[in-house]
Amino acid sequence: MSGVNLRTMGHLVVQYRLLAMLAAIAIFGGFTLDDFLTANTLRSILDRAAVVGFLALALTPLLIAGQIDLSIGSIMSMSAFTTIAMQPFAGSLPAAFIGLCVGIAAGLVNAAIVVVLKVNSLVATLATLLIYASLVLLVSNSQPVSSTDPMFGLPLTSTMLGIFTPRSMLFIGAALVMFVWLKATPSGRTLYAVGSNLSAAVSAGVNANAYIGGAFVLSGLLAGAAGVLQALSSATGSPLAGSVLLIPAITAVVIGGTRLEGGRGSSLATLGGVVAFGALTTLSEYNGVPSYTQAVYTGLILILLITLDKVASGGEGKTTRARRGARTTPTIKARNP
Amino acid sequence: MSGISKSFPGVKALRGVNLEVREGEVHAIVGENGAGKSTLMKILAGFYHPDEGTIEVGGKRIEAMSPREARDLGIGMIYQELNLVPDLTVAENIGLGAMPRRGPFVDYKALVALAESVLKELDADIDANMRLGNLSLSQQQLVEIAKVVARKPGIVVFDEPTSSLGEKETRILFNVIKRMRAAGIAVLYISHRLQEVMEIGDRVTVLRDGRNIETRDVAGITPDEMVRLMVGRELTEMFPKLDIPLGDVVLDVSTLSRAGEFDGITLDVRAGEIVGLAGLVGSGRTEVARAIFGLDPADTGEVKLRGKSVRIRRPHHAVAAGIALVPEDRKGQGIVPMLSVRENFTLPMIGRLTKAFLVRARRERALVQEFADRLKLNPPLIERALGSFSGGNQQKVVLGKWLLSKPSVLILDEPTRGVDVGAKADIHQIIGEFAEAGGAVLMISSELPELLAVCDRIFVLHEGVLAAEIPRADASEESVMRAATGQGVFA
Amino acid sequence: MTDLNPAARNASEATVRTAGALLGVVSIPLAIVALIVLGSFVSPSFLTVRNLLNVLNAYSAVGLAALGSTFVAICGGMADLSIPANVAMGALVALGAQPLIGPVPAACLGILVASLGGLLNGLLVGYMRINPIIVTLGTGFLLLGLSQLLIGGGIVYAEPSAFGSFVGGTVLGVPVFVWVFLLVALILHVVLSKTPFGRWTFAVGGNYDASATSAVPVRFTKAVAFVLTGMLAGMCGVLIALANGSARPIIGSGYEFVAITAVVLGGTSLFGGRGSILRTLGGVLIMALIGNLIVLIGLPTPSTGFVTGTIVLIVVGVDAYLRRRLGTE
C-alpha cells in the first residue's frame, strides 16, 4: 500500500534529518564559500547558537512532559532588559542574577496557570507571551537600554580552546547536564513517563502536577538565561530581544527530533538541532541571504518536519486501538448451513 | 468482600455481592458482559467506593480506599488495557514510581537486576533494557504483570489477562499464576474463557445481574453448568416481538476483513428482519459495524446493498447509500452535548433540509418535534441541550436522528446499554416499527435475552471470526454463549 | 465525584449552569455600557458620535479577522496565529499588483493570496490533524517572511485611485470600513446560525467523533474555517493598505491577539462548540472601547497588549473552571 511506503519514507527522513541537514550544509557551504569549512566557522556557529540554544533547552523538558511554553521569547526579553537595566543599581553580577530570577518568576506564573487553573498550556502561554512582552515594553518605554558596564559581558564571546566561547560552552554544558538529568535520574525518567502516558504515571504514584509545574519553572529559568547571555554579550537590554526567537527555538528542537506530542526527545538531540539550525543561519549569512528569506525556510522546515512526524507516527494510534480486539489464533471456524 | 452494592445513575451494578478469596487460591469470576465483574474489580482497586458493604483485607476492615491505598494494601491489578509508558525501557516501567537510586542517579544496575529477577520469575524472555514500545503486545502484557509482581502484592487481580496473549504466553502466564498460588498469594481471575477457568481456577464465582449466583469448587463443575449459571435469569423486562414478513436481502456483507480485528465476516440482513450480532467484548462486533459504516474501513471484502456493490470508505458514503449506525459509545460518538436536541437530530441530514443554502428552520422544528413526540422524548423540549437529558432520552435522539434520514439499513451497537427499563421498551418499539416498515436491522447487544427476544437470526462472533449463525428457532442463551466462548457450535 | 450526593451535585451544577448562562447573556452589554460610562467620565470628547465612529473604524479591519477567528474557535481549531502574515500578504499584494492590473483586481488578488495562506493552514489542521497553534505559528512565520521576500523588505506605496479614496472615505457619514465590517458580520452571522455549514462548525467543535459518526465532513469544516480566516485577514490588510496608501510587512502585527481576545471576550470558547458572531461583534466593540480609553487616559500603547493578555487569561481560566464544574471536559 502506498500509505505504508509513505510512512516508512517519512520515518527515514525523520530519523536521519539531523545528519542529512548537517551534511547538506557542509557540502553546500564547502562548495559556495572558500572559508566555510574552518574551525573559525564552527566557533562562530556554536557561539551564535548559544542564545537560541538556551531557549531550545527551555522547551525540551516541557515538550517531553507533553506541554509547551510559547512565552519563552517574551521571558527572554524581560530577563535581557532587567539584566542591563539593573546594572547601575545592583552591579553587573547581581543584575544578571536578578535577570535569571525574573525568568523563574515568569515560569512560576505559567506553572500556576497551567497546573492550578488547569488552562491548556498552549493558550495559557500564548496569553503570557503577550502579557510578558507588553510588560517589558511598558517598563522600558519600548526603548533598549545600553549597559553601564559594557566590558563585563565582553569575555562571553571571546575564543576558548579554538572552537568554543564561554557562551557556547555554557550552552553545551547546560545541554550535557540536562542530558544526564533526563537520562539518568529518577526525576528525569519520570518526566518522560508523565509526557508519554500520563495515566500510567499517575497510577504508578507519580505527582504529575509537580513535574509539569517544575518543567515550566525550569523553562522560565533557561529562557531567562538566554536573555541574560544575550544582553551581556551585546551590552544592550532590548525589550524585543526574544520576540523573534520563539519559532527558531521551536524549529531547532523539532529538527533535533523531540516530539511535540510529548514523551520523546533529549537535550542532545536539541543540541544537534540547534547546531544544525545555527549552521544553516551562518551559511545563509555568509551567502548574504536576507533575514526574511531565512524566516521563509525556517517556517518551511518547521511545517515540513511536524507534518512528516505526523505521517510517520500515523500508525501508532491504530495499534493501540487494535489491541482491544486483538487475537492470536483463530479457533473454530464453522457456520450453520 | 461482603454485601457489596453499587449503583450508578439509572443502573444498579452490584446488589449485595459477597466474595471471599483465600490465601494461595486462584479464584475465578465469570459472568456475562455487564454482570458486574468490572465494577467489583474497580471497587477492589479503590477507583469506586461501594454504596453498601464492607471489604476486609487480611482481617482488617477497610472503609473507603483510594487507588494508592489499595496498592499499599498489597492489591495488584492487571487489566486488559495496558498501563505502560512506551517511551521508557522495560526496567524503567517496572520501577516507575519507586526507582532505586544511587546518589542523585537512577541505580540502573539495581533496577535492571530487579527487573530481570522479576522477569525470570515470570519465565519471560524479555530484555530489560529494551524500549517498551518496541515489544510485541503479548510481551508488553508480561511486563505489565511484572510491574505488579515486583511490588510483592498479597492479592493479584487479573482482568481478562489472556485476551492479547498467544498460546505460548498463556502457558507462561498460567505458570506464573501457579507460582503465585504456591507463594500464598490470593489470585482473582476474571475471564470469559471457561476452559481457562477450568484449568487454572480452584474455585469459581458466577456473577449475574450484579449478584453472586454461586461459588463452587472448579473440580465440581462443568463448563456447561457454568454457562447455565451465567445466563439462567428470569426475564424482568418484556421484549415484544412483532411478526414481520421478510423481504429481499438488503444488506449483504461478504468476507469482510480487517487485520487484527476481524476476518472473513459474511452476513446478510433482509428487509423487515432484525439480525443480531452477538459475541463477547473484544470479539470484533463493534469493529465489524464500524467497518460497514466506513468509520474504520475494512481491508478486504464487499458490501452489497439490494444486490448492488457499494464502496464505503467514509461515513457519508454509508449515509448516501442508506446505512445508519447508532454507535456503542453514546457520550463519545453519539451526541454533541452542547447542541440542542433539534440540532443533534438533524445533524446527518442538515444538508438536505435547506432552501437557498439556508436551513428551513420552521420545517426543521416541525419535523424534529414530530419525531420527538413519536419517540416519547422526555421532557419533550427540543431546544434544550442534549447533554442535559437522561441516557435513555439521549439514546432516543441518537436513534431518531438516523431514522429521520430514512435509511434502509440500521446498525445498532448496544442500543439499550445504560438505559432504564421504560426507555428500553420505547427503543425496542422504535426498532420494531423500523423493521415493520421494511427496514433491515443489524443489532449488537451484550444482553442475550434482548437479542433472543428481538432477533430473527443471530450471528455469533468469537475472536474476530464468525462462530455460528443461529436461526431464531434454535437460539437459546446456552447456544449463543457456547459459540461466543469458543466451545464449538451446535444449533 | 462518584461519592458526591447526586442530588446535591445536581443542584450545585444547576446553580453554576444558570450563573454561567446569566453571565453569558448580560455581561457583554453590561461591559459595553460600563465602558461608555467610564469613558465619558475620563474625557468629554469620548461620548461624541465622531469619537465613537472613529473607535469603531479603528477596529473594523481587525474585526474582520476576529469574525473569521470565531469560526476557527467554534470548530475546535483554537486560534489562527498566522493572521498578521495574511494581513500583510493581502496588503502587499493589493498594493504591489496595482500598477499591473489596476486597483480593484489587485485588491481581489490580495484577498485570494491570503485565502491561499488560509488554505495551507486548513490542510495542515483539518486534513493532517496537526495542532492548530503550532501550525499557524509556523505558517505565520513562513508567510510573513514570504511577504517580505516578495517586496524585498521595504514599503509598498499605493497609486492614488478612486477606489483607494472610496475605501478610506465614508458613505452616509459612516466609514466604509465600518460598513464592510458590519456587512461581513451580517453574512457570517447568517452562515453560522442558519446554514448547514454553521451547524457542522458547532458540531465539529462540540464533539469531533460524534460529528464524524454523523457523517459530518469534519475535516472539510475545520479546513474551511481557516480558509475563511485567511480570506478575512487578507481583506483586513487590503482595506488598511488602501486607506493608508502604503503597506509594510508589519502592518498586521498583534492582530492575532486582538482577534483572539475579541472572540474570547464575547464568550466564544477557544475549545469549541460554543459561540456566535454577535458575541464576537460585542467583543470587538469592547476591545475598541478599551483601546480608545487607553489612548484617552494617556497610557502607553503596550498597555493594550497587557490588558488584552490578562483578559484572555481570566476568561479562559473561568471557562476552564466552569467546564470542569459541569463535567463536560
Identify which of C203, C213, C273 has the shortest CB distance to residue B315: C213
C92's grid cell: 502587499
pLDDT score, position B335: 92
Smallest CA–CA separation between A39 and chain C, in Å? 31
pLDDT score, position A317: 38
More confident residue, B210 or A330: B210
Q: Which of A11-15, A152-156, A330-334 has the highest mean pLDDT?
A: A152-156
Element holding B346 (H helix, E strand): none
Burial of B429 (0-12, 13-18, 19+ CB in 10 A): middle
Distance of CA C44 to the CA centre of its chain: 30
pLDDT score, position C324: 74
- Is the pLDDT assigned to residue B458 strictly greater than 70? yes
More confident residue, B233 or B401: B401
User: In chain C, which residue's Cα lies nearest the Cα of B320?
Assistant: C215
Q: Span A267-278, mean pLDDT? A: 91
pLDDT score, position B164: 63
Tens digits of per-residue pLDDT, B320-336?
A: 899 999 998 888 889 99
A287's grid cell: 551567502
Could you tell me the pLDDT band of residue C151, with boundaries at 50, 70 and 90?
Answer: confident
Cα→Cα distances C226→A206, C70, C112, C168, Å: 39, 10, 13, 27
Could you tell me the pLDDT band of residue B239, with boundaries at 50, 70 and 90?
Answer: low
Identify which of C134, C146, C270 has the shortest CB distance to residue A306: C134
- Is the pLDDT assigned to residue B100 strictly greater than 80? yes
Q: Is the peptide bond before C44 cis (omega within 30 degrees of 0)?
A: no
In total, the C-beta contacts within 8 angstroms joining chain A to chain B are: 125
- Is the pLDDT assigned to residue C236 strictly greater than 90? yes
Find out whether C15 and C322 touch, Cβ atoms under 8 Å: no
Strands (DSSP E) found in chain A: 145-146, 236-237
The set of residues, in sequence order, having a beta carbon less than 8 Å from that of C284 and lying 6+ positions away, is C59, C62, C63, C66, C181, C262, C266
Order across the sheet with B465-471: list the strands. Answer: B323-326, B409-413, B440-444, B274-278, B457-462, B465-471
User: In chain C, which residue's Cα lies nearest the Cα of A311?
Assistant: C128
The DSSP 8-state label assigned to residue B2 in this structure reads E
pLDDT score, position B369: 93
Separation of alpha carbons C74 and B214, rounded Å: 54
Find out whether C315 and C264 touch, Cβ atoms under 8 Å: yes
pLDDT score, position C281: 94
pLDDT score, position C326: 62
Find out whether B463 and B486 touch, Cβ atoms under 8 Å: yes
Average pLDDT, chain A: 85
Smallest CA–CA separation between B489 and chain A, in Å? 7
Identify which of C153, C302, C316 has the shortest CB distance to residue A142: C302
Mutation target vs B (from C192, C213, C268; most B CBs, 10 A cutoff): C213
Separation of alpha carbons C260 and C263, rounded Å: 5
- Is the pLDDT assigned to residue A138 strictly greater than 80? yes
**DSSP bridge partners of C47:** none
**Stretch among A200-209, B263-272, B300-309, C302-311 having the lowest mean pLDDT:** A200-209
> Are the beta carbons of B350 and C199 separated by less than 8 Å?
yes
User: In chain B, which residue's Cα lies nearest the Cα of C200?
Assistant: B347
- Residue whose C-alpha is closest to residue B75's, from B67, B85, B63: B67
Burial B108-134 (b: 16+ CB within 10 A, else e): beebbebbbebbeebebebbbeeebbe
Cα→Cα distances B38→B41, B63, B338, C78, Å: 5, 20, 30, 37
Mutation target vs C (from B338, B383, B386, B412; most C CBs, 10 A cutoff): B338
Smallest CA–CA separation between A309 and chain C, in Å? 10
> Are the beta carbons of B88 and A201 separated by less than 8 Å?
no
DSSP B114-130: HHHHHHHHTT----TTS
Chains that touch C (3 or more CB pairs under 8 A): A, B
Could you tell me the pLDDT band of residue A2, with boundaries at 50, 70 and 90?
Answer: very low
Could you tell me the pLDDT band of residue A319, with boundaries at 50, 70 and 90?
Answer: very low
Q: Span B53-73, mean pLDDT? A: 77
C78/A contact by beta carbon, under 8 A: yes
H helices, E strands: number in chain C: 14, 4
Smallest CA–CA separation between B162 and chain A, in Å? 9
In total, the C-beta contacts within 8 angstroms joining chain B to chain C are: 81
Q: Which residues of C touch B401 (CB under 8 A)?
A: 214
pLDDT score, position B11: 54
> Are the beta carbons of A292 and C133 separated by less than 8 Å?
no
pLDDT score, position B292: 94
Tens digits of per-residue pLDDT, B386-404?
A: 988 888 889 999 999 998 8
Chain A residues contacting C via beta carbons under 8 Å: 68, 70, 113, 117-120, 122-124, 126-131, 133-135, 137-138, 141-142, 246-247, 250, 260, 290, 292-296, 298-300, 302-303, 306-307, 310-311
Could you tell me the pLDDT band of residue A115, with boundaries at 50, 70 and 90?
Answer: very high
Could you tell me the pLDDT band of residue B269, with boundaries at 50, 70 and 90?
Answer: very high
Q: Which residues of C touch A140 (CB under 8 A)?
A: none
Q: Which amino acid is at C325?
A: R
C144/A contact by beta carbon, under 8 A: yes
- Is the pLDDT assigned to residue A171 strictly greater than 90? yes
Burial of B408 (0-12, 13-18, 19+ CB in 10 A): middle
pLDDT score, position C329: 35
Identify which of C190, C206, C217 has the shortest CB distance to residue B336: C206
Cα→Cα distances C23→A17, B159, C268, Å: 51, 47, 13
Separation of alpha carbons A208 and A206, rounded Å: 6
Separation of alpha carbons B210 and B39, rounded Å: 9
Separation of alpha carbons A290 and A304, rounded Å: 21
Strands A236-237 and A145-146, by their bridges, are antiparallel
**Stretch among B430-434, C81-85, C230-234 having the lowest mean pLDDT:** B430-434
- Is the pLDDT assigned to residue A328 strictly greater than 60? no
Separation of alpha carbons B266 and B182, rounded Å: 47
Strands A236-237 and B2-8, by their bridges, are unpaired
Q: Which residues of A touch C142 (CB under 8 A)?
A: 295-296, 298-300, 302-303
Q: Which of A2-11, A15-24, A101-110, B106-115 has the highest mean pLDDT?
A: A101-110
Find out whether C153 and A290 touch, Cβ atoms under 8 Å: yes
- Is the pLDDT assigned to residue B89 strictly greater than 80? yes
> Are the beta carbons of B361 and C3 separated by less than 8 Å?
no
Q: What percent of chain B has pLDDT over 90?
A: 25
Separation of alpha carbons B244 and B340, rounded Å: 35
pLDDT score, position A13: 67
Q: Span C32-42, mean pLDDT? A: 87
> Are the beta carbons of A128 and C317 separated by less than 8 Å?
no
Say whether C236 sits in a helix, a strand or coil.
helix
DSSP C161-190: -HHHHHHHSEETTEEHHHHHHHHHHHHHHH
Could you tell me the pLDDT band of residue B240, with boundaries at 50, 70 and 90?
Answer: low
C302/A contact by beta carbon, under 8 A: yes
Tens digits of per-residue pLDDT, B168-194?
A: 777 878 888 888 888 888 898 988 777
Separation of alpha carbons B470 and B476, rounded Å: 9
Cα→Cα distances B346→B349, B399, B462, C173, C277, Å: 5, 11, 36, 44, 22
pLDDT score, position B357: 86
- Is the pLDDT assigned to residue A327 strictly greater than 50? no
> Are the beta carbons of B335 and C2 separated by less than 8 Å?
no
Could you tell me the pLDDT band of residue C18, with boundaries at 50, 70 and 90?
Answer: low
Tens digits of per-residue pLDDT, B278-297?
A: 988 778 899 999 999 998 88
B218's grid cell: 472448579
pLDDT score, position B2: 58
> Are the beta carbons of B97 and A206 separated by less than 8 Å?
yes
In total, the C-beta contacts within 8 angstroms joining chain A to chain C are: 136
Tens digits of per-residue pLDDT, A37-68?
A: 788 888 888 998 999 999 999 999 999 999 99
For C117, other C-beta atoms within 10 Å of its C-beta total 32
Radius of gyration for chain A, computed over Cα atoms and rounded to the nearest angstrom: 22
Average pLDDT, chain B: 84
Mutation target vs A (from B68, B78, B88; most A CBs, 10 A cutoff): B88
Separation of alpha carbons C163 and C213, rounded Å: 48
Q: How far apart are the first and last CA of chain C?
A: 13
Could you tell me the pLDDT band of residue A10, with boundaries at 50, 70 and 90?
Answer: low
pLDDT score, position A137: 94
> Are the beta carbons of B106 and A200 separated by less than 8 Å?
no
Q: Span C145-172, mean pLDDT? A: 86
DSSP C79-148: --TTHHHHHHHHHHHHHHTHHHH-HHHHHHHHHHHHHHHHHHHHIIIIIS---HHHHHHHHHHHHHHHHH
> Are the beta carbons of C149 and A296 separated by less than 8 Å?
yes
Cα→Cα distances A114→A69, A214, A215, B313, B402, Å: 10, 11, 11, 40, 41
ipTM: 0.84
pLDDT score, position C132: 93
- Is the pLDDT assigned to residue A131 strictly greater than 60? yes
Q: Which amino acid is at B37?
A: K
Could you tell me the pLDDT band of residue A212, with boundaries at 50, 70 and 90?
Answer: very high
Could you tell me the pLDDT band of residue C177, with boundaries at 50, 70 and 90?
Answer: very high
Q: What percent of chain A has pLDDT over 90?
A: 50
More confident residue, C38 or B491: C38
Cα→Cα distances B308→A62, B253, B268, Å: 54, 11, 13
Mutation target vs C (from A123, A251, A294; most C CBs, 10 A cutoff): A123
Tens digits of per-residue pLDDT, C95-135?
A: 999 989 999 999 999 999 999 999 999 999 999 999 899 89
Say whether B273 sits in a helix, a strand or coil.
coil
Helix then strand then coil, in percent of chain B rounded to 5, is 35, 25, 35
Q: Which residues of A touch B467 (CB under 8 A)?
A: 331-334
